[in-house]
Amino acid sequence: MDQKPARARIVDAAHDLMLSIGLARTTTKEIARAADCSEAALYKHFSSKEELFVTVLAERLPKLGNLLSGLAAGEGGIEDHLTDIARQAALFYEQTFPMAASLYAEPQLKHRHEQGMRDLGTGPHRPIQQLDAYLRAEQDAGRIRADADTYAAASLLLGACAQRAFAYSTLPGGTPPQPLDEFATAIARTLLAGIS
């Protein structure tokens, strides 16, 4: 049986380790071992653990960034777009929360990680900026109220999705009171009622 290419094995191993023990405790040495390759091989594909984390987010988690970057103002229903975004964001944060939560226990590691993310031109602010840009474009097209604060609206929608992941991942059983689709529809509809 053919073994996956080294890069795919590295990303798979990083995803599994980051989900199970958190980003702070996952080392490149452990990732390489789990991927059945050397640490030098890992560094041929990725310059840092932060770059590998960004790759895991982009390639192994629900596609929030792709969804946000593919939105075009004036196409389709805004409520449908916001519902899709809320659904993907809730899934995305549900998986990233266990990965990144461990960073907050180690301030030096958190600072290093944040610097690495800045160096890569990414971070948790990017989805808010992307959704804000889409909402501003819809505002310019006259489909959202002219006085609506699109940045606040983007922050509210994505913040609610992140809070859902945070609130219910810490409870025994961790089951939110609303199923995902019901939550996504309710968040989109409520937000749109305030800005349309």
Look up the CATH superfamily of 1-60: Homeodomain-like (1.10.10.60)
> Rounded distance, CA 9 to CA 16, Å?
11
Say which range, 9-13, 149-153, 176-180, has the weakest mean pLDDT. Answer: 176-180
Q: Given a cut of 90, is residue 80 above it in pLDDT?
A: yes
What's the average model confidence in pLDDT over 142-160? 97
CA end-to-end span of the chain, whole Å? 56
Residue of 14 and 168 predicted with greater confidence? 14
**Banded pLDDT at 132 (limits 50, 70, 90):** very high
Q: What is the pLDDT of residue 176?
A: 84
What mean pLDDT is reported for the chain? 88
Model pLDDT, residue 2: 56
Q: Where in the sequence of the chain do the CATH 1.10.10.60 domains occur?
A: 1-60
* pLDDT at residue 48 in the model: 87
158-167, 171-180, 185-194 — which is least confidently predicted?
171-180
Share of the chain above pLDDT 90, in %: 53
Asked if 60 contacts 19 with a C-beta cutoff of 8 angstroms, the reply is no
User: CATH 1.10.357 region(s) of the chain?
Assistant: 62-195
CATH number of 62-195: 1.10.357
Instruction: Give 114-158 as a DSSP string.
Output: HHHHHHTT--THHHHHHHHHHHHHHHHTTSS-TT--HHHHHHHHH
pTM over 0.85: no
What integer is the mean pLDDT of 139-157?
97
Cα 169-171-173 angle, rounded to 5 deg: 90
